[in-house]
Amino acid sequence: MNYSKEQIEEMEMLLLFNINSSQEGIKVHSRAGQSAIATARRLYQKGLVTQIDGGYLTRIGYQAAEHAHRLRCILN
């Protein structure tokens, strides 16, 4: 089973979050590429972030980001 392009984009965006601080979020500006805007929207729709343009990680979003960071460490 392969990851879809959208899933890879979502994992890449989750990797932008600092999992060592719950006080740091991200903001995807309206001038960002359509792909980044769509990715942030999907993460919001899945309940992983607090705002449609990023914001902070939710509890499940933190868990997903933590797994993404761990996987990156394992593969590197």
pLDDT digits over 30-70, tens only? 999 999 999 999 999 999 999 999 999 999 999 999 999 99
- Tell me the residue ranges of DSSP E strands in 1-76: 26-27, 49-51, 54-57
In the chain, where are the structural domains located?
A: 5-75
Give the model's confidence band at 28: pLDDT under 50 very low, under 70 low, under 90 confident, else very high. very high
Per-residue confidence band for 5, with pLDDT thresholds at 50, 70 and 90: very high
Regarding pTM above 0.85, the answer is yes
Secondary structure element (H or E) that encloses residue 26, with its range: strand 26-27
What integer pLDDT is reported at residue 35 of this predicted model? Answer: 97
